[in-house]
Amino acid sequence: MEPVIERPLGALWQRYRRYRGRFALAVLMSTVNKVADVVPELLIGAAVDVVVRGSGSFVADLLGVDSRHSQLAWLAAINVVVWVVESASEYAAAVLWRGLSQGIEHDLRVEAYDHAQHLHLGWHESRASGSTLATLNDDVNQLERMLDVGLPAILQTALNVLLVGIVFAIASWQLLLYAFLPIPVIILGSLVFQRRLEPLYDRVRGAVADLSGALSANLAGIATIKSFTAEERERARVEQVSAAYRDTNLRAIRASAAFVPLVRMAILAGFTCTLLLGGWATLDGELELGLYSVLVFMTQRLLWPMTDVAEVLDLYQRGRASTARILALLAEPVTVPAGTRALDRPVRGRVELRGVRAGYADGPDVLHDLDLVVPAGETHAVVGSTGAGKSSLLRLVLRFDDPRAGQVLLDGTDVRELDWDSLRGSIGYVAQDVYLFSGTIAENIAYGRPDATPAEVRAAAEAAAAADFIDRLDGGYDAWVGERGVTLSGGQRQRIALARALLRDPALLVLDEATSAVDNETEAAIQKSLRRAGERCTTIVVAHRLSTVRHAHRIWVLDGGRVAEAGTHDELVAADGAYAALWRVQTGEAVA
Ligand code: M5T
Ligand code: MG
């Protein structure tokens, strides 16, 4: 279950306290800007007043200037200054708000990615990678519009109401009431709409994650789709997910768009009141003409931006839904936290499993009551039919998972107590499905030791019997592999992965079918160098091809998550059990 985030924007505010100074500055600039924005309107009124009343005008009183011409010149001068202030503060506000939104977005993206990296492997495996990607990318970007456009707009509207309210209050209490008539309606409407929109936008964000999940899964499996000519079917599936996104979005848009007419009707009412009642009052001599014109302009200026309230509400809801998803990811607990103990150096690589019982998620046990010891410096093999639990056992040693019962120990210390550097830093691991990063061959080999010299990289490649084919590649060690470069064969990829593990010079080498895809001759070459490497480290090898493991100090035969037999190759063949039967099949004796 995903953690539920109550009041996500409040939580965001708490989280980014460090931005409060910049936030305050942005608010200040927006305020200056807004004030400077209202002044010209007042100046219009004052100008009308000058023309109408002359030496009795407001400006004449204020500045003590009699001539109408100089009064107007004064007004023009003030106007120029105000416009300069307005433009400068507008620029400053825009830069500050954008900087704020970009900064928060960047921090959130990096923090969320880093947190996701530390989450349990099982968490990643249990959900579509595209859905996590949607949160890290799409949801984070969604914040931009809210912080960039939404927040300043809310602030501007609030300031508008305040400033115009002050002017009205000074002018006429009655008109203040009329002009502000629409505001309670708009506020009430916003609250109602917000409640209605909230679940709709949560669903929109969910649909985005589904869509992104489907797309990235399909792109990753494009070769399979083609080989089964499933393009039509996949198109239909993507169409379906995309239609679901379109429809949830449309529902949200329809609901939020209904708010605009409501706002407009309320505004119309307020504007009509000021226009008519104010006009009548002026005709009756109760209101100065200058003031009347200011009030009419002001009502326009006050109410017009209110139509944006609907759009801002929309931005706010979208941003809120996205923030909730990002914060939910950040609140996801790290269920396999690092320990704090460091191993004494040099690490020897002794591995022990004591009464280990393990399984995945809510599923049944995959390993039952497993006891197994790999003394330091020895090479042990784990064999058994597919699904017997070999990879699961290795995952426990690397602590990708924790056992349900029992203990996994490295050099006599429970792996749960070890820090990652002592545990994973001591292990060279080649996974059953090799992953190469987009980059050069050399970068891939040096992935676990980025400071390795070219000579060390070459030596590791030679030990993995990869040097020959790398030399033949266009570009050699600088050839690009992975997403943007040459695609290597299965066996070539395995050898790069093996070189990568060997370059670490690990205390414990863990190989999961690391040579399954190479030919017998290459495998023999690799075996030779592995035996040499094995003199310096402890090795656990999983293999189906028994010739790979026959020289191991000890072979553990797993069956259904239990140790069925264990011993050297010769002992197991002599025991004439499951291993011996398998050996006969592989050497062809059984056929005869
Ligand atoms: C052993 C189950 C799998 C199998 C059993 C990795 C993984 C495995 N399993 C899960 O339920 N979730 C998982 O994420 O565990 O699987 P294994 O350890 O991968 O078997 P193996 O390595 O001996 O098999 P193979 O084919 O690699 O030789 O029941 O469903
Ligand atoms: Mg496996």
Q: Provide the CATH number for the domain around residue 398.
A: 3.40.50.300
Kindly state if the Cβ of 367 falls inside 6 Å of ligand 1.
no
Q: What pLDDT is recorded for position 454? A: 93
Query: Where does 228-307 have alpha helices with state H?
Result: 231-257, 259-283, 289-303
CA of 517 to the centre of ligand 2 (A): 14
CA 579 from centre of chain: 47
In a domain, 380, yes or no: yes
How far apart (Å, rounded) are the C-alpha atoms in residues 60 and 67? 8
Do 513 and 543 fall into the same domain?
yes
Expressed in angstroms and rounded, the spacing between residue 197 Cα and the centre of ligand 2 is 47
Cα dihedral sign for 557, 558, 559, 563? positive
The Å distance, Cα 576 to ligand 2 centre, comes to 25
Ligand at shortest distance from the CA of 556: 1
Is the shortest distance between the CB of 123 and ligand 1 below 6 Å? no
Q: Give residue 362 CA to ligand 2 midpoint distance, Å.
A: 20
- Token digits for 526? 């690799």
Say how many Å lie between the CA of residue 441 and the centre of ligand 1. 30
Q: Is the C-alpha dihedral spanning 223, 227, 231, 234 positive or negative?
A: negative
**How far is 517 from 205, CA to CA, in rounded Å?**
42
In a domain, 404, yes or no: yes
User: Which tokens is 345 given?
Assistant: 């150096």
Q: Is 386 in the pocket of ligand 1 (CB under 6 A)?
A: yes
Alpha carbons 462 and 489: distance in angstroms, whole number = 17
Domain assignment present for residue 340? The answer is: no
Q: Kindly state whether residues 315 and 373 are assigned to the same domain.
A: no
Q: Do 450 and 526 share a domain, yes or no?
A: yes
Q: Identify residues whose C-beta is under 5 A from ligand 2, the ion.
A: 391, 432
- Residue 94 falls inside a structural domain: yes
Verify that 69 and 214 share a domain, yes or no.
Answer: yes
* Contacting residues for 148 by C-beta, under 8 A, at least 6 apart: 97, 98, 101
Q: Which residues pair with 556 in a beta bridge?
A: 382, 566
Instruction: Determine the residue of 391, 430, 582 to mutate for testing ligand 1's pocket, defined as the one with the most ligand atoms within 8 A of the Cβ atom.
Output: 391
In angstroms, rounded to a whole number, what is the distance separating the alpha carbons of residues 164 and 160?
6
Q: Specify if 67 maps to a domain.
A: yes
CA distance 95 to 116: 31
Counted domains in the chain: 2
Q: How would you class 106 by CB atoms within 10 Å of its CB: exposed for 0-12, middle for 13-18, buried for 19 or more? A: exposed
Same domain, 89 and 172: yes
- Beta-sheet pairing, 379-384 with 405-410: unpaired
Are 320 and 357 contained in the same domain? no
**Whether 360 and 424 share a structural domain:** yes
In which region does residue 480 sit, left (phi positive, over 0), alpha (psi from -120 to 50) or beta (all else)? beta
Q: Is 363 in the pocket of ligand 1 (CB under 6 A)?
A: yes
With respect to residue 26, please indicate whether it lies within any of the assigned structural domains: yes
362, 366, 540: which to mutate for ligand 1, most atoms within 8 A of CB? Answer: 366
Q: Kindly state the helix (H) or strand (E) to which residue 413 belongs, with its residue range.
A: strand 413-414
Predicted pLDDT at 592:
46
CB 561 less than 6 A from any atom of ligand 1: no
- Residue ending a domain, among 268, 299, 331, is 331
15 alpha carbon – ligand 2 mean position (Å): 42
Which of 270, 301, 331 finishes a domain?
331
Rg (CA), the chain: 36
Ligand 1 centre and the CA of 548: distance in Å? 21
**Alpha carbon distance 380, 373 (integer Å):** 9
10 Å Cβ neighbour count for 35?
Answer: 16
Partners of residue 365 on adjacent β-strands: 359
Q: Same domain, yes or no, for 363 and 465?
A: yes
pLDDT confidence of residue 590:
54
- For ligand 1, is residue 45 a contact (CB within 6 Å)? no
**Tens digit of pLDDT per residue, the chain (592 long)?**
567 777 888 888 888 889 999 999 999 999 999 888 878 877 877 888 777 777 777 777 777 777 778 888 888 888 899 999 999 999 999 999 999 999 999 999 999 999 999 999 989 988 888 889 888 988 898 888 888 888 888 888 888 888 878 877 877 777 777 777 777 888 888 888 888 888 888 898 889 889 998 998 898 888 889 988 899 999 999 999 999 999 999 998 888 888 878 788 888 887 888 888 888 888 888 877 877 887 787 777 777 777 777 778 788 888 888 899 899 999 999 888 888 888 888 889 999 999 999 999 888 999 999 999 999 989 999 999 899 999 999 999 999 999 999 999 999 899 999 999 899 999 999 998 888 888 899 999 999 899 999 999 999 999 888 898 899 988 889 988 876 566 788 888 889 999 999 999 899 999 998 888 888 888 888 888 888 777 788 999 998 888 888 888 999 999 999 999 999 999 999 988 889 988 888 887 755 4
Which atom belonging to ligand 1 lies closest to the Cα atom of 363? 11
**Residue recorded with tokens 């609030």:** 158
82 pairs with which residues across the strands? none
Measured from the CB, is residue 360 less than 6 Å from ligand 1? yes
Annotate 408-437 with DSSP letters as a single string.
EEETTEEGGGB-HHHHGGGEEEE-SS----
Domain boundary among 302, 331, 360: 331
Which residues on neighbouring strands pair with residue 538, listed in sequence order?
508
Centre of ligand 1 from the C-alpha of residue 545, in Å:
18
Ligand positioned closest to the Cα atom of 393? 1
Residue 345: inside a domain, yes or no? Answer: no
Do 313 and 402 fall into the same domain? no
Co-location of 435 and 310 in the same domain: no
Q: What is the pLDDT of residue 486?
A: 66
Cβ(464)–Cβ(499) under 8 Å? Answer: yes
Residue whose CA is at the smallest distance from ligand 1 atom 8: 392
Are residues 396 and 316 part of one domain? no
Give the C-alpha separation, 180 to 98, whole Å: 32
Bridge partner list, 1 = none
Give 225 Cα–ligand 2 centroid separation in angstroms.
24
Is residue 95 included in any domain, yes or no? yes
Question: How far apart (Å, rounded) are the C-alpha atoms in residues 424 and 1?
Answer: 29
- Residue owning the nearest CA to atom 11 of ligand 1: 360
Q: What CATH number is given to the structural domain containing 300?
A: 1.20.1560.10
Question: Is 405 in a helix, a strand, or coil?
Answer: strand
Domain extent at residue 457: 351-587
Beta bridge partners of 427: 508
* Region of residue 229 (phi > 0: left; psi between -120 and 50: alpha; otherwise: beta): left
Q: Of 356, 365, 370, 392, which is best to mutate to test ligand 1, by the most ligand atoms within 8 angstroms of its C-beta? A: 392
Looking at the fold, whether 317 and 375 belong to one and the same domain comes out as no
Alpha carbon nearest to ligand 1 atom 15, residue: 366
Mapping DSSP onto H, E and C, the string for 438-455 reads CEEHHHHHHHHCCCCCHH
